[in-house]
Structure 1
Amino acid sequence: MTPFEIIRDIPLSLTREGLFRRMGYGGRKRSPAPEIMEQFARAVDMVDVHNLIDARGALWIQKLSSVARRRIATVCGLEIPGSRVFHLMPQATHVVLGLGTIGNGIEGLSRKYLKSDDPILGVMLDSIGSAAVDCLTEEISRIVRDRAAQMGLMASSPMSPGMPGLSLETQDIFFDLLPASELGMKLTPKRLMVPFKSSSMLWGLGKTMPSWSEEEVCKACHLFRHCRYKNVKETIGFKSSHEEGIREASE
């Protein structure tokens, strides 16, 4: 794996469960009302017909020189602060930074309908865009696992700036190192990514690395109890030690 890698035309396989969760119906026993489903089907057709998803990403890998309690350092002198990084991957030998986006196709059309007399369609399009970013994160993580295997290593699950123990300010590092402009991405002064349907991710690589599910990350979030978009499939009765590690990393 070279230090930089740009990946274009990433195939995404959106699931009904993922789409429903981003509509706020995750974990509910009843399906959305028929009129909502009609708008949803219409939005899905629009995304397909107009090819509104252009999934692409970039990866950067570097060997680590040290892993300390509050930061990790690479052999090229880069330091990445964050207690979460240390707690969840103390055995890492390499770090991978990644950016991904589905482009601004869905985002632009959603904004148009949100301002029209058909705002529900705009909401449906936005939900599809969010589900697509979730899927993109999973697909890029799969690519990272494949690249790690080629090096004889394992990859951790991804973590993102803004999560407990990895501050949003870390976004600056991602956009300084990775060819964001080649992906059509930029960072606002408030460190929001544009297009908004984008993701920034960090993985640790090593001989043995921990992994955690989206459900475990949701359960550890302080917004879990009231979040409409949480993963609930595996969070009931959650007892894994990962939650403790995630919470400890945020302290």
Structure 2
Amino acid sequence: MMEIPLDPGRLESGLARRATIAVPTSGRPAVRRRLSALADDLDRAIRPRATIRLVPATMVGRDTLRLGDADSLEGTSVHRFAGADRLAVVFASLGDGIAERAARSAERGEMVEAALFDQIGSRAVWQLGQRLLAAIRLAAHRAGSRAGGPLFPGDPGLPLAAQPILARLGDPGGAGVEVCGGGLLMPLKSLSMVVAIGPGVRRWARIANCRECRFHDRCRKPAETRKVCR
């Protein structure tokens, strides 16, 4: 039976420090020193938690993936899961520390610092997702299988309506995550994703999802996405 061990220390180590590298800001030494201090503060505040559950999966047609006995995922990107016999359902969170620090900075009128906390937190939760994806891929490889790329509810072709389904199949509570109305996750620096596993699964880069979005040509993020998506 395939298992996906999670090392809390490996998940946590240097998340904010690594995320800070991607924050666009002035190259002035004083600014970089301040940003470095913020990263150190956030690394002490971040307490990542994550859960991964494996669910039996079967493709039905092109755009439907049957999960277990009763649930299914539907969407125009679900065809990427062709060849899957299992689906890894992931929930993860950085905890409330980032939001609390951003709120305190805003109360003091330090709006730039509050915005930086928010930006670092957004990139840190992305880094956490990448580490979890790496753990899934390593476990699949050791089991003689393959893991594809991630899909996130709200991605092109996987609607936010999938979020309650993932909540039933996964363990959001174990990751300190609450699924609220409309598919919103709390705390805000949280994520959910699904990764297909099976001997015939093909990998893809996250940028492929962006290219399928009808807003891709007008989006301000594609250049940034190309730097961080693998």
Superposition map of 1:1-251 within 5 A: 8-9=8-9, 10-14=11-15, 18-21=19-22, 23=23, 25=24, 32-34=26-28, 36-48=31-43, 51-86=44-79, 88-221=80-213, 222-223=215-216, 225-228=218-221, 230-233=224-227
Gaps of 5+ in 2: none
Q: What is the SS of the residue equivalent to 1:108?
A: helix
Counterparts in 2 of 1:208 and 1:63: CA distance versus 1, 3 Å = same
Instruction: Count how many residue pairs are aligned between Structure 1 and Structure 2.
Output: 225
Contact 1:186 1:194 in 2 (8 A): yes
For normalisation by structure 2, the TM-score amounts to 0.84
Counterparts in 2 of 1:108 and 1:123: CA distance versus 1, 3 Å = same
Listed one character per residue, the Cα deviations across residues 51-74 of structure 1 (whole Å, up to 9, x for unaligned) are 111112111112223432231113
CA drift at 1:186: 0.4
CA drift at 1:149: 2.1
Distance across 1 between alignment mates of 2:133 and 2:12: 13
From the two aligned structures, give the one with the greater helix fraction.
2
CA drift at 1:169: 0.8
Counterparts in 2 of 1:8 and 1:177: CA distance versus 1, 3 Å = farther
Counterparts in 2 of 1:165 and 1:215: CA distance versus 1, 3 Å = closer
CA drift at 1:184: 1.7
Contact 2:178 2:186 in 1 (8 A): yes
Distance across 1 between alignment mates of 2:31 and 2:211: 28
Distance across 2 between alignment mates of 1:158 and 1:83: 14
Contact 1:5 1:59 in 2 (8 A): no
Query: Identical aligned pairs, as a percentage?
Result: 22
Contact 1:7 1:57 in 2 (8 A): no
Counterparts in 2 of 1:58 and 1:203: CA distance versus 1, 3 Å = same
Listed one character per residue, the Cα deviations across residues 27-54 of structure 1 (whole Å, up to 9, x for unaligned) are xxxx625264344223113223xx1111
CA drift at 1:156: 0.2
CA drift at 1:4: 9.3
CA drift at 1:232: 3.6
CA drift at 1:209: 2.2
Counterparts in 2 of 1:131 and 1:234: CA distance versus 1, 3 Å = closer
Contact 1:13 1:135 in 2 (8 A): no
In the alignment, residue 77 of structure 2 is paired with which amino acid?
R
CA drift at 1:225: 4.0
In the alignment, residue 62 of structure 1 is paired with which amino acid?
V
CA drift at 1:147: 2.2
In the alignment, residue 134 of structure 2 is paired with which amino acid?
R
Q: What is the SS of the residue equivalent to 1:156?
A: strand
Contact 1:218 1:224 in 2 (8 A): no
- Greater shift after overlay, 77-86 or 190-199? 77-86
- Greater shift after overlay, 200-209 or 154-163? 200-209
In the alignment, residue 41 of structure 2 is paired with which amino acid?
M
In the alignment, residue 230 of structure 1 is paired with which amino acid?
E
